[in-house]
Structure 1
Amino acid sequence: MGVAATEYGGNENQSTDWFDAALEEAGGEAPEQYSEADGINFEALAATEPDVILAAYSGITQEEYDKLSEIAPVVAYPEDTAAFTTAWQDSTRLIGEALGKEEKAEEVISDVEGQVAQAAEEFPALEGTTFLTGTVDPAAADQIYLFTAADNRPKFLSSLGMELAPVLADNEEAQDAFYLTWSPERADELDSDILVTSATDESVTEAIAADPLLSKIPAVQDETLVVQTDEQEVLSTSAASPLSIPWALENVVPDIAAAAEQADSAE
């Protein structure tokens, strides 16, 4: 069995804390790893002699699918789903079906959805709070990068009772992509209770506040900007899975809930 090393958001094992914890609990052996930093490593993948190739959450092309199929049967993302937007429930069902474990897949989904519902009850301020999520960085080529409802990050926050801000939910351009860029000159239009952004380090927070355009984002002015500098936190909701979601509920949601509470108290 083999798996691509976690290049972004990986721990010292080039894995994730949630995967390692589950592996230890199951008493299993760590799978062989190979790098996909430069794209699919067909040779290294074939060397693991897989019985099946799981790519339910991926962006593989038809050409890559055909080439992978020469190695082993491939579980790709659904035809009506854009690349890298497969919901974790759909991925789990696809993998469960491929492995002949459909009932187990449904049990896992039910359990994790129950944990999400419990977290929503624990943090009632999340209910109805409007949000935007993406990256805001004065030093980036695209200073404002927002994820649409198709992306797993907004899907996760919506599952907690939050609402994607109308400025993006009603945007026609956002209907056909999992992200879009936004002009800094229109930063003041990004009206939402909170905004969740990833950054390389905390200095980006100060840079945003000092920027003459980005500082006009309502969540920046209201001090309800949630800056994630931990790559595992970002990965836990972007590449969401039944293992990462419980981890995110414990490690990601509290900061978002605190911002939601602050937004609620300011109204």
Structure 2
Amino acid sequence: MALSRVRGMLAAAAVVLLSVSACSTGPADGSTGGETAAGSSDAFPVTIEHAFGETVIEEQPERVATVSWVNDDVALSLGVVPVGMPAVEWGGNDNKSTPWKDAKLEELGAPLGSEKAPKLYSEADGIAFDEIAALTPDVILAAYSGLTQEDYDTLSKIAPVVAYPELAYGTDWQDSTMMIGEALGKTEEAKKLVAETEQTIDAKASEYPQLAGKSFIYGNLEPAKGDGVNVYTMNDNRPKFLTSIGMKQADVVTEGTSDSGEFFIPWSAEKANELESDIFVTWVPDAKTKQQVIEDPLLSQIPAVENDALVADSDNTLTLSISAASPLSLPWALDEFLPMLGEAADAAEAANAK
């Protein structure tokens, strides 16, 4: 399956990512409400540098809108309920949301469907400029996004925009958290959130010691296609996630992409046997596709597939939680994903012991 990273987590999708005291930013209808954590107005004005220049935020924002993934998760993690945020079109639930967003909105007293809930707008056809403008936000968060210059210029006519620092869809969740924390007057809270999330990752990963040092390839496999392999580079959140739990990217990928600005590289299925790693992780559209990979005459030659160390994830929400990684999604992802990885690591160890 060919992936397009700028189509966001539809590459994650096509394959495709603390409790603080509260006060209000205001719900989508403009009335008073929505529980958010108080920040420090003394920090303002602040100047945030990003790929399109600098954004000056004169006063602490009271009405926050977000685009893309991750940004709303970070705001919620910091106790701020946006007045508007994107509907989750891929990997979401019946609420056009995710389990981690729903839980945090409930905690903050702004569950979807309530008067204090954020307005959800669709980004299926691009940024919802008109709907965002109608919410009269004080700031628009896009620290993790694929904004073009034109998008940025249009949004900037509505409110100050916090864009990504360098690479579209390439911002680490830690950097997104710190940028958004600064924009909201919550720098100290953001530092604490990053530290606590990293501690959670370390603690959960320690329950699976067999993962430490295991080599991995995170890719996308399509049976019965000569070009049915894509391999993610370290620019993508998925390999970053696996390294954060103590695994290491396979040399065959790292050596070929060390200076690459790409999120993934195509790999001929004819060379599948060269994809040497302890564990291979892939998204699949359904459970039966895993068996098709195992039976495919070319993909079955991937060493990890031969060793029964293939992790085939058919849960779109789980894929989203890692590819659009955030301080909200990662704790949820760990509980779901680590058991699958641990089983694959056990299989790899068993194969190596033969």
Report the TM-score, using the length of structure 1 for normalisation. Answer: 0.96
Shift in CA distance, 148/107, structure 1 to aligned 2, threshold 3 Å: same
Task: Report deviation, 1:142.
Answer: 4.4
From 96, 103, 113, the equivalent of 1:14 is 96
**Which residue of the partner structure matches residue 263 of structure 1?**
348
2:238 to 131, 148, 153: 153
1:76 counterpart = 2:156: no
Would the aligned equivalents of 1:52 and 1:74 in 2 still touch at CA under 8 Å? yes
* Offset at residue 175 of structure 1 (A): 2.2
Q: Secondary structure at the match of 1:170?
A: helix
Among candidates 15, 18, 27, match of residue 109 of structure 2 = 27
Check the 8 A contact 1:138/1:214 in 2, yes or no: yes
Runs of 4+ in 1 over 4 A off after TM superposition: 139-142
1:161 match: secondary structure: coil
Q: Please give the per-residue CA displacement for 1:55-114, whole angstroms capped at 9, x wherever unaligned.
A: 1111111111111111111111103xx211211000000000000100000111111000
Deviation string, structure 1 residues 128-147 (Cα, Å, up to 9, x no partner): 00001121012668411111
In structure 2, what residue type is equivalent to 1:126? L
**Higher normalized helix content (fraction of residues):** 1
Q: Show CA shifts across 1:128-186 (max 9, x none).
A: 00001121012668411111011111111101000000000111476221111111111
Q: Distance in 1 between matches of 2:234 and 2:221?
A: 18
Deviation at 1:265, TM superposition (A): 2.6
* Pair 1:43 & 2:130 matched: yes
Larger Rg: 2
Pair 1:176 & 2:261 matched: yes
Gaps of at least 5 residues in structure 1 are none
| Counterpart pick for 2:144 among 57, 72, 87 | 57
Q: TM-score, normalised by structure 2?
A: 0.73
Give the distance between the partners of 1:48 and 1:264, measured in 2 at CA: 54
Q: What corresponds to 1:131 in structure 2?
A: 216
Contact kept? 2:283, 2:314, Cα under 8 Å: yes
Aligned-pair identity (%): 52
SS of the residue corresponding to residue 122 of structure 1 reads coil
Q: 1:174 to 1:11 in 2, by over 3 A?
A: farther
Cα 1:41–1:146 change in 2 (3 A) is same
Aligned length: 265
CA contact (8 A) 1:222 1:263 kept: yes
- Following superposition, the deviation at residue 204 of structure 1 comes to 0.8
Residue 120 of structure 1 deviates from its aligned partner by 2.0
